[in-house]
Structure 1
Amino acid sequence: MEARILLQSDWYTAFRENEGDVWVSCKIPGKPTVYGSLKCQGVNHDGVPEVTSSEEFEVLEVSKKSIHLSCPSGRTSSKFIMPFTSFPRIHDKSITCLDISSGGGLGVSTSTDGSMRIWNCQNGENRRELTGHVYDVNCCRFFPSGMVVLSGGMDAQVKVWSCEDGSCPVTFKGHKGGILDIAIVDRGRNVVSCSRDGTARLWDCGKSACLAMVADCGAPINGCSVGVADNSINLGTPQEAPSDREVGTQDKLLLLAREDKKLQGVGLQSRTPIFEFQGSDAFNCCTFLSSVYIVAGAQDGNIYQLDVRCLSTPIQVFHKSGAPVHSIMPIREGFIASQGDGSCFIVQQDLDHSIELTGPDADPVYKVAAWEKCIFTCCRDGLVRKYQINDL
């Protein structure tokens, strides 16, 4: 665990006031936490706050939307970015999942109030309600077209929706437990779902049928991701059923984040287990960084970066805090992760500092989605926050 700087969640609000004070701290493994403060001394002619720090910290850079701080005793620095805007009226309660369309114009999100809604990414205005699941909707995702949505709910159903009229032309039934995550294969002819019942299933959207039970793990599967595997990885012998030859899933690797502390790789067409990696706690989410590198987040806050060609030792284990890792996704040359303590951060290989997306005050950030230079997060506090990342 590396040293980590923590900053008051509403620091940007305090800096709008002259002599506004903000607390800052640095947790250093094996040493006492370093505490300090920041003070706004006014705003310059460009509208940028003039910020000074107590002696324990250094202010490296300040802009209208960010502040870069260092803690010399902890030998670490972090850049904190405030939300560009927030959307408070999409749902009435906690927002559990979201995704952004390929064109960046529409968002879809689900809530603990049982609703699933399509909304405008510019102003948060609701466009359409998608009604049809019986209980809570756990996950939602746009197809590559940006006009069709895939969802999975506690009613054990997977549904395909039209964004244009809100209709649901396809419903997949077969799971015996709530759907926990979904993934889309290529352009969306096929989709994958994983469930509390411990299985992952491959579906054909055109035929409205289940092609295969790809995995039966005996433990809930919390997350899944589909990627193209490197040629050096043997994905097994494809099944010979004609329907399988049509689906176009050759050379696809399915990652499964399992409740029993295992991260599993399965050949999507062969349905053959390719590898298992034993973690320290239940895996909640996983994604591909490339054809050989993957990253997965666990309930105890550990984030594992792995090379699927050699799983004996992780390339790196990140640990910001002991809060559950709820969401993880690739971005540029690294990844962005969110946790149950309200933290959301970007890790990039060529940066010597982390980038923290601020705003939530200890409320879990359940999901992260990105489109070009915009990042969207959803949180237990019921807000969708939009960040602009221009300098990654």
Structure 2
Amino acid sequence: MPDSPVIFIQCDWDDFLRKTQGSLWVSLKKRGDSNNIHGKITNAGFDSNESPTFLATSGFSAEVLANDMIKVEHKQSQISAVFVAPTKVYTDIHKKSIPCLDVTTTGLCVSYCVENNLVVWDFNKEELKLKLEGHVGEVYKCKFFPSERVVLTGGGDMQLKIWCAETGRCPVSLKGHRRAVTDFVIIDVGRNVISVSKDGSAKLWDCGQSSCIDTLICTSSEVNCCAITSVSPSFPVGEPEDSPSEREIGTQNKILILGCEDGTVHSVAVYSRRKLFTLVLKSPVNSVAFLETTHETDVEKKFVVGCQNECQLCLKLLSWKANFQ
């Protein structure tokens, strides 16, 4: 539940596991409640199996589950959390905060940090490969195309850029938004992409011709995020009023969801351009995503919404079907 208490732990707790003495802080916090519970976990030594044992205050307890895992519990509240340490930490690529990154199956990573440093690097060797130079200002999102040889980025300069991940060249820039590009999705293999912007719009692009095919929706608010999914042919997405461009590929069964700064969530059927629903929440929507559960004869789709006030909402996509008709 969104209002359940959450356990927080000191960020370098994994170093604490390897020490023979010392302590770290732990807290139990609930949104909107100032009566948080703060405690301390102290290393009391090692048992016969060479596992650390702990002493904890304020009703907390802790136990090691593995070399890189610790379980912390607050018994009175019946709240517990398992924390997993990173297997590797990269310190030589960026020196400031990293708002976006993506990785490939072949060991490449593209990432951006707030010092205007957009790079492609090998995360197995921790080796810098390329610096992608061309955006003016912040980059809000970076992602590899399915081929894993091409990178798509969007930023504060109102542009999307397509880069060769092998040479660093940028042969394509997509221009048409009037404010920053905040998020995007790639349709199928990437002949078309959809971007959203602080100008309130979602645009469908033809990457091959570097042109905007259509504006899918215009909202009255800044759009912070988007997500796309495929639905079955029986899903009521409607038909387009005009014949679509021959450059529009793979949109027939796609549904797009947008999360906005004013707390609204909009959905549009990409192929028909039909607005499916609008959901009104109480705080800015920072992230949206689709979930998929496979049953024996069917696939259940849901979408998840994350808000500025920590509220998260999970809804069945098909529960909105009555509103589409």
Tell me: CA distance 1:134–1:64, structure 2 relative to 1, closer, same or farther (3 Å).
same
Alpha-carbon distance in structure 2 between the residues aligned to 1:227 and 1:121: 29
Alpha-carbon distance in structure 2 between the residues aligned to 1:92 and 1:4: 30
Which segment is superposed worse, 251-260 or 223-232?
223-232
> Aligned to 1:77, what secondary structure does the other structure show?
strand
Tell me: CA distance 1:55–1:92, structure 2 relative to 1, closer, same or farther (3 Å).
closer
- Measure how far apart 1:60 and its partner are: 4.5
Larger radius of gyration: 2
Corresponding residue of 1:295: 304
Corresponding residue of 1:155: 157
Query: Within the alignment, does 1:66 sit opposite 2:75 as a pair?
Result: no
Query: Within the alignment, does 1:88 sit opposite 2:91 as a pair?
Result: yes
Q: Which amino acid aligns with 1:276?
A: T
- Measure how far apart 1:203 and its partner are: 0.7
- Measure how far apart 1:45 and its partner are: 8.3
Alpha-carbon distance in structure 1 between the residues aligned to 2:50 and 2:178: 56
Q: Is the 8 A contact 2:38 2:58 kept in 1?
A: no
Q: Which amino acid aligns with 2:52?
A: P
- Measure how far apart 1:284 and its partner are: 1.2
1:76 to 76, 79, 88: 79
- Measure how far apart 1:16 and its partner are: 2.6
Corresponding residue of 1:105: 107
Corresponding residue of 2:261: 259
Corresponding residue of 1:40: 43
Q: Which amino acid aligns with 1:94?
A: S
Q: Is the 8 A contact 2:206 2:248 kept in 1?
A: no
- Measure how far apart 1:43 and its partner are: 5.0
Which segment is superposed worse, 293-302 or 7-16?
7-16
Alpha-carbon distance in structure 2 between the residues aligned to 1:160 and 1:44: 56
Tell me: CA distance 1:245–1:182, structure 2 relative to 1, closer, same or farther (3 Å).
closer
Q: Is the 8 A contact 1:17 1:42 kept in 2?
A: no
Q: Is the 8 A contact 1:201 1:210 kept in 2?
A: yes
List gaps (5 residues or longer) in structure 2: 293-299
Query: Within the alignment, does 1:173 sit opposite 2:175 as a pair?
Result: yes
Corresponding residue of 1:5: 7
Tell me: CA distance 1:211–1:9, structure 2 relative to 1, closer, same or farther (3 Å).
same
Corresponding residue of 1:192: 194
Tell me: CA distance 1:261–1:174, structure 2 relative to 1, closer, same or farther (3 Å).
same
> Aligned to 1:309, what secondary structure does the other structure show?
helix
Corresponding residue of 1:229: 231
Alpha-carbon distance in structure 2 between the residues aligned to 1:72 and 1:92: 39
State the identity as a percent: 34
Q: Which amino acid aligns with 2:218?
A: D
Q: Is the 8 A contact 1:61 1:68 kept in 2?
A: yes
Deviations 1:348-378 (A, max 9, x none): xxxxxxxxxxxxxxxxxxxxxxxxxxxxxxx
Corresponding residue of 1:20: 22
- Measure how far apart 1:82 and its partner are: 1.6
Alpha-carbon distance in structure 2 between the residues aligned to 1:47 and 1:121: 33
Q: Which amino acid aligns with 2:41?
A: L
Tell me: CA distance 1:28–1:197, structure 2 relative to 1, closer, same or farther (3 Å).
closer
Structure with the greater relative contact order (CA < 8 A, sep ≥ 6): 1 or 2? 1
Which segment is superposed worse, 67-76 or 228-237?
228-237
Alpha-carbon distance in structure 1 between the residues aligned to 2:224 and 2:213: 21
Q: How many residues align?
A: 311
The TM-score, its normalising length taken from structure 1, stands at 0.74
Q: Is the 8 A contact 1:105 1:121 kept in 2?
A: yes
Deviations 1:251-295 (A, max 9, x none): 100110111211111111111111111111111111111263000
Corresponding residue of 2:319: 310
Q: Which amino acid aligns with 1:265?
A: S
- Measure how far apart 1:225 and its partner are: 0.9
Q: Which amino acid aligns with 1:222?
A: N
Which segment is superposed worse, 258-267 or 81-90?
81-90
Q: Is the 8 A contact 1:239 1:269 kept in 2?
A: no
Q: Supply the RMSD in Å over aligned alpha carbons.
A: 2.3
Alpha-carbon distance in structure 2 between the residues aligned to 1:246 and 1:176: 23
